Amino acid sequence: MKLLQNLEARLRALTPAQASALLLAENVVTIFAGAVAAGHGLVRAFGHGRVAPEPKPIAPAKVLFTASMIVLNTAVTHAGWWLWRNGAVRSAWVPAGARSSMCWYCC
């Protein structure tokens, strides 16, 4: 629990520019790279017999769509960080049986 409290203090101390950079990196790594890695894993696991034709090359419009989704998701995450940092969204530790869990709520 001390680790999460330390993380919470560090996140609260970030400037908006630092938060934007961190949240953009988080979205690129977890969402984009995670989806690509999961797709690659599925192809490797079940790619022994093709059931559809070969995919077409990636169109520039799809690259633009993907980049815009990452930027929009980062903007929403940044808004949530800002609301949390300014007290509109709070976090609390809630006992749940043998474990504690983080609970987010609006005030």
How far is Cα 94 from Cα 89, in angstroms, rounded to an integer?
Answer: 16
Over residues 39-63, the pLDDT tens digits come to 889 888 887 877 778 888 999 999 9
**pLDDT-above-90 percentage for the chain:** 50
For helices 60-85 and 2-13, give the axis angle rounded to 10 degrees. Answer: 100
Residues of the chain with pLDDT under 70: 1, 93-107
Domain boundaries of the chain, sorted by first residue: 2-106
What's the confidence (pLDDT) of residue 10? 94
Mapped onto helix, strand or coil, the DSSP state of residue 78 is: helix
